[in-house]
Amino acid sequence: MNVEFLNTLASVVANATPLVIASIGETITERAGVINLSLNGSLIVTAMAGFIAARVISFGVDVDAIDMIASAEAGLIGGVVVAMLVGALVALIIALSSIELRLDQVTVGFILTLLMADLAQFLGQEYTRIPGPVVPKWPVPLLQDLPLLGPVFFQQNVLVYLSYVLVIGLWFWLFRTRPGMAHRAIGERPEAAYARGTNVNRLRYVYVVLGGALVGVAGGAYSLHFKPGLSNPPAMQGDGWIALAIVIFGGWHPFRVVVGAWLFAALRAVSSDIQKNGLAVLGQTIEFNFVLLNGLPWLMLIVTLLLVSSGAIERLLLLLPGPVQRRMRSVLRSDPPRAIGTTFEVD
């Protein structure tokens, strides 16, 4: 396998990282029965907040400053923290309006999507297109030397590793721990959770805010590494919607979610590769109009959702042998959490 190809794979994994983190955050939220539709806006506004915080900490408020007043690490950590807080704050608005005010989550989420995007541009204008601290690459000792796996997965930065941890962690949490059961239960059947002594609405606050905080991390990941700095229009514009779709494609299961995210990132890589080399089918290469190629990811988005709604993915279950079926059930199940989008009240 040649090095260019490994590089490309590594880039796909890297480019997918913010999507993974954001979709995992949204998965946490939706598993608790709440939709945070504001993802697109949240990502943009948290990217803005994270970058400005990091920039100000490392370089001071002067936007023309070129020498640091504090270490890049300090700036980066501060940036991620601020991004998390902002993401959590936006999510809190949704939690409050849904739990306390019984407002439609989709409505509030949509308004926030637009508002946050504009807010980010408004507050960020002075800080666009200026350099700031960038999350450095950090190859994992030992693991980085693994053949194939090493270069692709373990010669990345901490954010990428964080995404691995989140995926596996969330899976373990949801399907192996007792509080994880409560987490799923409040999204599936809050009444049952309540009957078992779970404080449904308090937990919903917790998970909505937590999910929002992760969306914040994703936003920070963009402006502090993957699409460094701020720009107008924001470079991650639209990814929030893709992340939301990935959650559905992922059947609210962390493993399927991460696959979905990598799929999209790969597709983007492919569509610009096709522009250069055309698409090789059975020997002869087909040339594509390079502009139309940019539509590919969006077609893909529709197709993946079709796969889910047509139950195609779930049908895989039937093909599998019994014991495997039982193992794979939670992965291939595509039903949304039953109580998603609903409010829960006692008396």
Partner 1 sequence: AQDEIIYGVVLVGPRNDRGWSQSHFEAGQYVEANNENATMLFFESLNEADTPEATLMDVVTEMVDSGAEVIFTTSASFEQDTNGVAEAFPEVVFINITGSNVLHGDAPFNVGNFNTLMEVPRLLAGCSAALASETGKIGYLGALIDPETRRLAASSYLGARHCWNTYRADMGMDLEFTVTWIGFWFHIPGFTLDPTEVANEFFDNGADVVISGIDTTEAIQVAGRRASEGSRTFAIPYGNAGGCDEAPEACLGVAYYNWGPAYLDVVNSAQDGSWEQSWDWLALDWMDINNPDTSTAGYLRGTGMPEEIAANLDEFQGALADYMSAQDMGVESIYLWEGPLNLQDGTELAAEGEAVPLLDIWFSPQLLEGMIGASE
Partner 2 sequence: MLLPVLLSLLLAALLVLAVGREPQEVLEKIWQGAFRNTRSFAGVLNFWIPLTLASVGLFVTFRAGLWNIGIEGQILAGAIFASAGALTFDFPPELAPLQLLLQILLGVLGGMVWAGITGALKIWLGVNEIFGGMALNALAGVWGIYLISGPWYPEGGSAQQSRPFLENALYPPLSRDWPVGLLAIVMTAVAMVLVPLIMARTRWGLQLKATGSNPRSALLLGVPTTRVAMSAFLVCGALAGIAGSYRVMFTYGSFRPLVAGGIGFLGLLVVLLSTMKPLWIPLITFVFSAILAGSTRLRVSLQLDSSLAGVLQGTLVLVFILFQGLRQRLEARRGDQAGDVSQASASSQSGLTG
Partner 3 sequence: MDIELRNIHKRFGTVHANNDISVVFPAGRITGILGENGAGKSTLMKILSGYQPADTGDILVDGNASRFSSPEDAIQEGIGMLQQDPLDVGAFTTLENFVYGRPERVLPDWQAARKDLEEASAHLGFDLEAETPVERMSIALRQQLEIVRLLALGVKALILDEPTTGISAEQKQTLFAALQQLAHRDGVIILLVSHKLEDVITLCDKVVVLRDGRRIGEEDMPAPGETDPVTLEKIKSQLVHLMFGQELGPHVRLEVPLDKVVLQLENLNLRDRRLQIENLNLSLRQGEVVGLAGLDNSGQGLTMRAICGLESVSSGRVLLEGEDMTNRSYRSFLHRGVVFGAAGRLEEGLIAGLTLTEHMALVRSGRAVLDWPALESYTSESLKHYDVRGEAEDRIEQLSGGNQQRVLMALLPANPQLLILEQPTRGLDVESARWIWQQLLERREGGTAILFSSAELDELVAYSDRILVFHAGRVHEVSDVASTTIDELGYLIGGEFKQV
User: How far apart are alpha carbons 318 and 332 in whole angstroms?
Assistant: 10
For residue 284, what are the β-bridge partners?
Answer: 281
∠ CA 338-340-345 to the nearest 5 degrees? 95
Stretch that binds partner 2, among 16-24, 44-52, 148-156, 285-293 (CB under 8 A): 285-293
**Phi, psi for 284 (deg, rounded to 5):** -85, 145
Going by the DSSP 8-state scheme, the letter that residue 281 receives in this structure is E
184 binds, among partner 1, partner 2, partner 3, none (CB under 5 to 8 A by kind): partner 3
Three-state SS for 310? coil
Smallest gap from residue 77 Cβ to partner 3 (A): 28
Residue window 285-324: x/- pattern of binding to partner 1, with contact defined by CB under 8 A: -----xx--x---x--------------------------
Number of Cβ atoms within 10 Å of the Cβ of 40: 26
Smallest gap from residue 181 Cβ to partner 3 (A): 4
Applying CB under 8 A, does 194 fall inside the site for partner 2? yes
**Phi, psi for 233 (deg, rounded to 5):** -70, 150
Contact by Cβ (8 Å): 171, 162? no
Applying CB under 8 A, does 342 fall inside the site for partner 1? no
Which one among 136, 169, 278, 295 touches partner 2, defined by CB under 8 A?
295
State the residue for tokens 């901490």. 158
Applying CB under 8 A, does 275 fall inside the site for partner 1? yes
119 binds, among partner 1, partner 2, partner 3, none (CB under 5 to 8 A by kind): partner 2
User: How far apart are alpha carbons 253 and 239 in whole angstroms?
Assistant: 19
What the block records as the tokens of 59 is 């370089």
Task: Return residues touching partner 3 (CB under 8 A).
Answer: 176-179, 181-182, 184-185, 188-189, 191-197, 326, 329, 333, 335, 338, 347
What residues from 242 to 261 belong to the interface with partner 2 (CB under 8 A)?
244-245, 248
Smallest gap from residue 112 Cβ to partner 2 (A): 7
Taking the chain, what is the end-to-end CA distance rounded to the nearest angstrom? 63
Between 167 and 247, CB nearer to partner 2: 247
Contact by Cβ (8 Å): 224, 135? yes
Which one among 100, 145, 191, 273 touches partner 1, defined by CB under 8 A?
273
What the block records as the tokens of 195 is 């009957």
Amino acid identity, residue 275?
Q
Between 66 and 292, CB nearer to partner 2: 292
State the residue for tokens 């948290």. 46
Contact by Cβ (8 Å): 252, 27? yes
Applying CB under 8 A, does 312 fall inside the site for partner 2? no
What the block records as the tokens of 85 is 């807080």
Between 97 and 163, CB nearer to partner 2: 97
Applying CB under 8 A, does 334 fall inside the site for partner 2? yes
| 258 Cβ contact partners less than 8 Å away, ≥ 6 residues apart | 16, 20, 24, 163, 167, 250
The contact set with partner 1 (CB under 8 A) reads 4, 7-8, 10-11, 15, 66, 125-126, 128-131, 134, 136-137, 225-229, 231-239, 268-269, 271-273, 275-276, 290-291, 294, 298
List interacting residues with partner 2 (CB under 8 A): 35, 37, 93, 97-98, 100-108, 110-112, 114-115, 117-119, 121-122, 125, 190-191, 194-195, 238, 241, 244-245, 248, 289, 291-292, 294-295, 298-299, 301-302, 305-306, 308-310, 334, 336, 339-347
